[in-house]
A and B are shown apart, each in its own frame.
Chain A
Amino acid sequence: MNKKRDSMEIIHDILKYIGECRGKAKPTNILYKSNLSHQMLTEYLNDLLLKGLIKEIKQDDKKLYELTPKGYSFLNDYNIIRKFMTSYGFE
Chain B
Amino acid sequence: MSIDTDIGAESGPGGPGPTTAESRQWTARVRHTAESAFPPDQLLPDRQPAYMASWIYVFGVLTVVSLAWVIITGCILAIMGPSWWHVSSTGHFVNSLHLWSVEFFFFFMVIHLWGKFFMAAWRGNRRLTWATGVIAFLVSVPAAFTGYISQQNFDSQWISTQAKDGINATGAGAVWNVLNFGQMLMWHIVLLPIGVIIIAGLHVLMVRRRGIVPPFAVGDAHSETPVAAPLEEPA
- Please say whether chains A and B are actual partners in one complex: no
B residues apposed to A, CB below 8 Å: none
A residues apposed to B, CB below 8 Å: none
